[in-house]
Amino acid sequence: MRNITLLFILFLSINLISAQDTSLSTTPAPNYRLASQFSPTNLAKLVHSTTVRPHWLKRGNRFWYQYKTTEGSNYYLINADTKSKSKLFDNEKMAKWLTEITKDPYDAQHLPRFNFKFVKNETAIRFRVTSTEEVEVLEDEKTVEKDSSATKKEKKKAPKMEKKVYHLEYKLGGNSLTILDNKKKEKEPWKKWATISPDSTIVLFSKNYNLFWMDKANFLKAVKDEKDSTIVENQWTTDGVEHYGYGGSGRGENNETKEEKKDDRKRISGIWSHDSKKFVFTKSDSRHIKDLWVINSVAKKRPTLETYKYHMPGEAEFYKRELLVFDMPSKEIVNIKLDTTKQQSISVYRAPGKQSNRDDDFQPPLLLSKKGKIYFNTISRDRKKLDICVADINSGDVTVLIEERFNTYIESRPLVLFNNEQEILHWSERDGWAHFYLYDSNGNLKRQVTSGSYHVNGFTNLDEKARVLYFTASGVSKNQDPYYEHLYRINLDGTGLRNINSGDYNTAISMADSNKYFVSNYSRVNTIPKSELRNANGSIIMTLEEADLSQLFATGYKFPEPFKVKADDGITDIYGVMYKPFNFDDTKSYPLLEYVYPGPQTEAVNKSFSIRMDRLDRMAQVGFVVITLGNRGGHPNRSKWYHNYGYGNLRDYGLADKKYVAEQLAKTHPYINIDKIGIYGHSGGGFMSTAAMLVYPDFFKAAVSSAGNHDNSMYNSWWSETHHGIKEKKDADNNISYEYAIDKNQSLASNLKGHLMLITGDIDNNVHPGGTIRMANALIKANKRFDFMIMPGQRHGFGNMTEYSFWLRADHFSKYLLDTKTMSIDITEMNRDRPKK
């Protein structure tokens, strides 16, 4: 009996061990090889064009575009009026002509990359091609040096060589190329400093923080040679100083380059009147704003120091702004009459650019009005009071036209001025949804043009004669994802709302200046992108392109899966996308990774197909189910309630939704292992992923947080004060002060239970590395183990170390969620395809 009992116990033990082994074996092993196949470099070989980007021409309703497939690039010319599509040129003939001219071999599939310029009333194109042939550089003057005996004589030097350039012209429909010259495109260093008037008669620039000007003749000298000693510069102002001057910002310069460039001409940014006689400039005094620094330890020689002004939330000081008008003929300066004691921001409205001007080399910024008026807005420091104003450009007198007031932050869009400047279209969220409102020129409300439970994204165009408004909006169709954007038309009396590129897709459009036609690109994350041309009534004129994904699908690629679940309140719909390994096996148990960005300006959830897979599709290939998802307080393209949900709780507002969504998905998808949840993100996502680990330490088991603003009390005031809120207080004497308080990640450092990796660039002048270092400091003081990586010489986006950061993330999650530690010192996936030198 005893032997039987022992045998039975042994049997149970063996079965228990076997069951445990089976459970463990269902967790996938890291598949680095599969992930490496979908690096950005490899993807560029598989997927080419996915959208049509029209270059609208000035004559007629015509545009050209390039579209690349696995067969190479083609260039097309579209005439919407005649409904015709033709190749801009024959690829085989072009290859033949280029081969004959340059003596370099070309074929139809392998043409060089062209940068076209339409000329001769848009009947011909010009472009340059660089050959492999080397020719002697022609210099205007030969260098003369002194020899040892102080006798001047010309010293022989080996000729300087460069690749030969062909400047070519092709007449549309022609049968040959014309060689115009062999001049390479001139370098244009003047573009860094020259602000040219619309009539090209005067050029403004900044020098030693003051405003200077030169006439056209002297500017042409500078175009030829910036160091020409005969150039006449005219100084206009004398009171400019650093941080309270007229242009010449040194942002991005370090202690060495600042000294080297201190006497250089620099740009002054402003807006011109249409007649070129006035220049409107916003002058900002930031002398009292405190400095911030980053040090580049991997600079060429000595480490360099970059010093810049940086306003942090809650600080008493604020930028002091003035609006100045420079009169070109008289050289007088008019100060627009503003209360400069108020802590407010100023933004001047500009005239919208034409689609047909997008390729022009010269596009001077112009005032919205052509009639001597400056339309601008001021917004209070607490972002709750917005005034839309108009100023007389000659006297500086100001009239407030429209006032917006709200208990959370106010957002704005460009003002639309039309009907000989007698009417105004104003975008507002005053009724809880974003809509257009029609005003007269005196600021009297005529009517609300759009209305309903949907979000107007922005102005597209206006047919003044027919009084029809074209705009983009989200959420109009209640049976679609509310983020899908479509183009609509509506009469200015509020009637006749119509979707003119309908379909259960996300769309992106480009409309002709005439309003008669538009290109519509449409797709979802799980469809092949397509492009079509439609007219203003929504009728399809022609199908343009369908993306060639054949090589991508040949690799085993599979579309991700959109999903909809509930927020933590059980009411609000949350939309997301699920990415799985392409070798997905539903019998296995997969850790779940959440890629997060909290908003409030976006939710980082793809709505259209994209080849930018590095953080999503590619991460899934390592061996995870990866999701992106929204959260209350995220994307602005829903109700203002949804968007402002996190106001006053900027650290924790989205976390409950992130947790609850994972729980819902695990219940409906048996292959998701709810005991292995990871989270990662960059910037705001870095901040959010660490917060998730600390607020829900028993739920989120691992995180990689890069460039996170963990301490929002030291992040820029615009983002923190806008989206979290700052309280304006008045004392008995009506003196205004501001109160700001926000929860910080480091205050919860003692909560950490899971495995956290922090990453930051050491010269990040957006989200300062100090935020991450403070988080590390708090974790050390709490006696916590964590991983910490500094990316040397990198700004906010990590630049050429982005690929390295991907593999750090893969290693971290493989170790702690897939139970596999990478032992190799080399990142073989990065080395494998790198050319050997």
In this prediction, residue 154 carries a pLDDT of 57
How many C-beta neighbours within 10 Å does residue 78 have?
Answer: 25
pLDDT digits (tens, 9 = 90+) for 490-543: 999 999 999 999 999 999 999 999 999 999 999 999 999 999 999 999 999 999
By C-alpha distance, which of 640, 721, 644 is closest to 382?
721
Q: For 354, which DSSP code?
A: P
Domain boundaries, the chain: 26-45+552-712+746-831, 55-135+161-188
Provide the token pair at 320.
């002091």
Asked whether the beta carbons of 547 and 521 are under 8 A apart, the reply is: no
Cβ(139)–Cβ(97) under 8 Å? no
Structural element, H or E, at residue 643:
helix 640-643
pLDDT tens for each residue of 695-743 = 999 999 999 999 999 999 999 999 999 999 999 888 888 888 888 989 9
- pLDDT in the model for residue 8: 43
Question: Which pLDDT belongs to residue 729?
Answer: 87
Token pair in block for residue 219: 């500017």
Superfamily of domain 26-45+552-712+746-831, CATH level 4: Alpha/Beta hydrolase fold, catalytic domain (3.40.50.1820)
C-alpha–C-alpha distance, residues 193 and 269, integer Å? 9
Q: Is the pTM of this model over 0.85?
A: yes
CB 169 within 8 A of CB 228: no
- What pLDDT shows up at residue 147? 46
**Measuring CA to CA, how many Å separate 385 from each of 282, 431, 460?**
20, 16, 26
Structure tokens that stand for 124 in this block:
């011909």
Largest interatomic CA distance in the chain: 118
What is the H or E stretch that residue 102 is in?
A: helix 91-102
Those residues of the chain that have pLDDT short of 70 are: 1-25, 139-155, 837
Backbone angles phi, psi at 70, to 5 degrees: -70, -5
Show the tokens assigned to 722: 């806008």
Cα separations in angstroms, 704 against 678, 693, 712, 805, 807: 8, 10, 19, 10, 11
